[in-house]
């Protein structure tokens, strides 16, 4: 009996010594791992912190640093496991969420990445880099419209965030077929970015290629056509006078004569379109608005009117093209997002419509119209 008790006490003492020794070894491994992290030695850090994690299971900092070490080594599966453990211990750690989101991006797990970055941004002021990550996730998932809006929001948060200009330029060139707007974005990026950034040369090459595309586009004035701008303005003035006097037939005649005198008279085409709309001749009105927008492609009112008329005619593709140009040139134009939401809904793309409705609500002034769109957003999928 005494021999049995003695053996039991020896076993207990051995276990206590072993446990104490293991804890001491784990603490030493943690110290060595953190020191290696401080020196940028990820391989040693990962080895020591992994050893420490065998007995230290409730230290969020340990798992955060272990995840960072594995991430630095390119071992993203091990990094994800460590970061997920850290997040379980500290559920509100936004930095850990961002690391997890970036790993999901690398693994092309687009929806998981988007959900994690959305969670990280809850209750926080808009952050350009985080919005750019959300854009990458949305673009990877094929949600181009949402990706564009995230990039626009990123630039609203930080006008100096050069990467967003490059990504927008690529999107306008490749997805929206807006070469002039793509050139503008690329030029801003080249001006702002670090010259050593590898994307700088890509942007410069894109500028050259897109300028060649622009040079081959048809011009508004047909070859051989002549202009008499002074005569055109006289006819427009007469048309405006007749229109003010409610002499619509005479006003229409004057505007048509203005276009004969000067085929590139924007005001004649635009004002004639308004008369045609008043006569419910929407097809011809749309032709005049398209003509006016070709003459002055950066006049927001004309583009929006053109898009609205195309929507009334259910020519949704034409409307979308006009609205894409407005959004590219005037990214804070609330009506453009409202109209584009209607277009996407009519096309059967409810999730894309939701992205535009949400952006309209962000930009529109308070009032019944914004309230109506806010209520509509709740009925649409995210």
Q: Characterize 257-295 residue by residue with b for buried, 16 or more Cβ atoms within 10 angstroms of its Cβ, and e for exposed.
A: bbbebbbbbbbbbbbbbbbbbeeeebeebbbbbbbbbbb
Own/partner pairs, 151-157, CB within 8 angstroms, 24+ separation: 152/327, 152/331, 152/359, 153/126, 153/359, 153/362, 154/126, 154/128, 154/129, 155/128, 155/331, 156/126, 156/331, 156/332, 157/125, 157/126, 157/127, 157/128, 157/131
Q: For the chain, where are the alpha helices, taking DSSP H only?
A: 2-38, 42-52, 60-72, 76-89, 94-106, 110-121, 128-140, 144-157, 162-174, 179-192, 199-215, 229-244, 248-261, 266-278, 282-295, 300-312, 316-329, 334-346, 350-363, 368-377
Report the distance separating Cα 136 and Cα 155, nearest Å. 15
pLDDT digits (tens, 9 = 90+) for 148-182: 999 999 999 999 999 999 999 999 999 999 999 99
pLDDT at 58: 86
pLDDT at 25: 67
Cα dist from 95 to 70, 117, 120, 163, whole Å: 16, 10, 8, 21
pLDDT digits (tens, 9 = 90+) for 26-55: 677 787 878 888 888 999 988 988 888 888
- Half-sphere exposure of residue 113, counting CA atoms within 13 Å on the CB side? 23
Six-digit token string for 116: 């994690």
Contact by Cβ (8 Å): 297, 268: no
Contact by Cβ (8 Å): 210, 182: yes
pLDDT at 18: 45
Report the distance separating Cα 382 and Cα 160, nearest Å. 29
pLDDT at 92: 93
Residue 132 binned pLDDT confidence (cut-offs 50, 70, 90): very high
The DSSP symbol for 365 reads P
pLDDT digits (tens, 9 = 90+) for 254-283: 999 999 999 999 999 999 999 999 999 999
Fold assignment, 225-296: 1.25.40
Mean pLDDT rounded to a whole number for the chain: 91
Cα dist from 74 to 254, 267, 313, 338, whole Å: 71, 60, 54, 43
pLDDT at 5: 43
Report the distance separating Cα 98 and Cα 89, nearest Å. 16
Domain ranges of the chain: 160-217, 225-296, 318-382
pLDDT at 17: 44
Query: Do the domains at 225-296 and 318-382 have one common CATH topology?
Result: yes
* Range of lowest pLDDT (92-101, 221-230, 373-382): 221-230
pLDDT digits (tens, 9 = 90+) for 281-332: 999 999 999 999 999 998 999 999 999 999 999 999 999 999 999 999 999 9
Six-digit token string for 286: 């749309």
Residue 24 binned pLDDT confidence (cut-offs 50, 70, 90): low
Report the distance separating Cα 79 and Cα 174, nearest Å. 34
- Half-sphere exposure of residue 162, counting CA atoms within 13 Å on the CB side? 15
Six-digit token string for 161: 């965030």
Cα end-to-end span (Å), the chain: 73
pLDDT at 338 over 80: yes
- Residue 187's CB is within 10 A of a number of other CB atoms, namely 16
Contact by Cβ (8 Å): 261, 223: no
- Half-sphere exposure of residue 168, counting CA atoms within 13 Å on the CB side? 30
The CA radius of gyration of the chain, in Å to the nearest whole number, is 31
pLDDT at 7 over 90: no
Fold assignment, 318-382: 1.25.40
pLDDT at 1: 37
Q: Which helix (H) or strand (E) holds 332?
A: none
């Amino acid at each position: 009996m005494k021999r049995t008790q003695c053996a039991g006490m020896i076993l207990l003492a051995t276990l206590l010594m072993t446990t104490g020794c293991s804890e001491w070894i784990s603490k030493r491994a943690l110290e060595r791992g953190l020191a290696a992290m401080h020196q940028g030695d990820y391989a040693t850090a990962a080895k020591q912190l992994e050893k420490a994690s065998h007995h230290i299971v409730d230290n969020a900092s340990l798992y955060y640093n272990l995840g960072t070490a594995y991430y630095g080594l390119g071992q993203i599966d091990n990094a994800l496991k460590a970061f997920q453990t850290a997040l379980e211990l500290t559920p509100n750690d936004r930095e850990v969420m961002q690391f997890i989101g970036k790993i999901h991006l690398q693994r092309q797990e687009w929806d998981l990445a988007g959900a994690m970055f959305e969670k990280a941004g809850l209750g926080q002021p808009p952050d350009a880099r985080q919005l750019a990550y959300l854009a990458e996730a949305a673009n990877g998932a094929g949600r181009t419209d949402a990706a564009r809006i995230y990039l626009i929001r990123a630039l609203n948060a930080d006008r100096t965030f050069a990467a967003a200009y490059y990504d927008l330029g690529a999107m306008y060139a490749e997805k929206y077929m807006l070469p002039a707007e793509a050139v503008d974005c690329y030029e801003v990026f080249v001006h702002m970015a670090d010259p050593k950034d590898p994307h700088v040369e890509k942007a410069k090459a894109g500028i050259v290629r897109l300028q060649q595309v622009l040079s081959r586009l048809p011009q508004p004035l047909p070859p051989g056509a002549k202009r008499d701008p002074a005569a055109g303005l006289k006819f427009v003035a007469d048309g405006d006078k007749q229109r003010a006097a409610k002499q619509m037939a005479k006003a229409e005649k004057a505007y048509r004569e203005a276009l004969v005198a000067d085929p590139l008279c924007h005001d004649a085409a635009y004002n004639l379109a308004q008369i045609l709309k008043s006569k419910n001749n929407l097809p011809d009105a749309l032709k005049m608005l398209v003509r006016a927008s070709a003459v002055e492609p950066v006049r927001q009112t004309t583009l929006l009117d053109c898009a609205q008329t195309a929507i009334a005619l259910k020519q949704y593709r034409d409307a979308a093209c006009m609205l894409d140009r407005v959004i590219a040139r005037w990214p804070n134009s609330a009506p453009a997002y409202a109209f584009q939401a209607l277009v996407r809904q009519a096309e059967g793309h409810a999730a894309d419509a939701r992205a535009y409705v949400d952006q309209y609500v962000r930009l529109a002034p308070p009032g019944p119209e914004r309230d109506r769109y806010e209520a509509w957003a709740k009925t649409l999928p995210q």
